[in-house]
Amino acid sequence: MDIERIAQEAREFGFTLAAPISIETINPMTAVRDMCSVDKCRAYGKNWACPPACGSVEDCERNIKRYSDAIIVQTTAQLEDDFDFEGMDKAAKMHGYNFVSFHDFLREKYPGTEILALGTGGCMNCKECTYPDEPCRFPEKMVHPMEGYGIMISDVCKRNGIPYNHGRGTLTYIGCYLLKERETNL
Ligand code: SF4
């Protein structure tokens, strides 16, 4: 898999930073899952992509280790000041749009590749998640939250030599795509 080329494609898509990272540096932690369970984002227990539906921290770790390659993507905005809520909202929307669009692009361009999309907050592909009454409508499009998976995002950035904070007055949204070649039963 040409992971450098995929990172380049992510940059061309509009992310301000995209780079390969090591799967070995993505280690779910119970302490991060515990922070997620405080339910500040109001998605805990309300979405197939979030805990408890996404499995235990151990289940998430096992799932991550199934993948061979990964890239991290960031969208950094320069804010006018600490109260630039319009700028924050614009950056969040741009990152969310690019994250979903690039996930679609990867699935279409690399049909022989399995992809695990790890983003921010619960999966927002549907206006209302079907959890828990019906199965997920679009399992191939599902986006799991990094925090729900127990991943300390700042730690992953640090271990890969990638900036987490781009300086005073900036705001950065972050996600990852994990990839592996599909197994074929020939
Ligand atoms: S794709 Fe839709 S049904 Fe599936 S987890 Fe996301 S929001 Fe829920």
Shortest-distance atom of ligand 1 to CA 130 = 3
In the chain, the number of structural domains is: 1
- In this prediction, residue 2 has a pLDDT band, given cuts at 50, 70 and 90, of very high
User: Is 183 part of a structural domain of the chain?
Assistant: no
* Mutate which of 115, 129, 134, 140 for ligand 1 pocket (most atoms within 8 A of beta carbon): 129
pLDDT digits (tens, 9 = 90+) for 32-65: 988 877 777 777 888 999 999 999 999 999 999 9
Record the pTM. Answer: 0.93
Shortest-distance atom of ligand 1 to CA 135 = 3
* 74-87 burial: b if 16+ Cβ within 10 Å, else e: bbbbebeeeebeeb
* Mutate which of 42, 44, 126 for ligand 1 pocket (most atoms within 8 A of beta carbon): 126
The percentage of residues in the chain with a pLDDT greater than 90, rounded to a whole number, is 82
- Which residue, judged by its Cα, is nearest atom 6 of ligand 1? 123
| Residue located via tokens 């700042």 | 154
150 and 57 in contact (C-beta within 8 Å)? yes
Q: How many CB atoms lie within 10 A of CB 157?
A: 21
Q: Identify whether 52 is preceded by a cis peptide bond (ω within 30 of 0).
A: yes
User: Is 31 part of a structural domain of the chain?
Assistant: yes
User: Is 185 part of a structural domain of the chain?
Assistant: no
Owning domain of residue 67: 3-178
User: Is 131 part of a structural domain of the chain?
Assistant: yes
- Give the Å distance between the CA of 56 and the centre of ligand 1: 19
* Chain centroid, CA 1 distance in Å: 20
The pair of structure tokens assigned to 139 is: 């399992």
Return d(Cα 171, Cα 148) in angstroms, integer: 21
User: Is 184 part of a structural domain of the chain?
Assistant: no
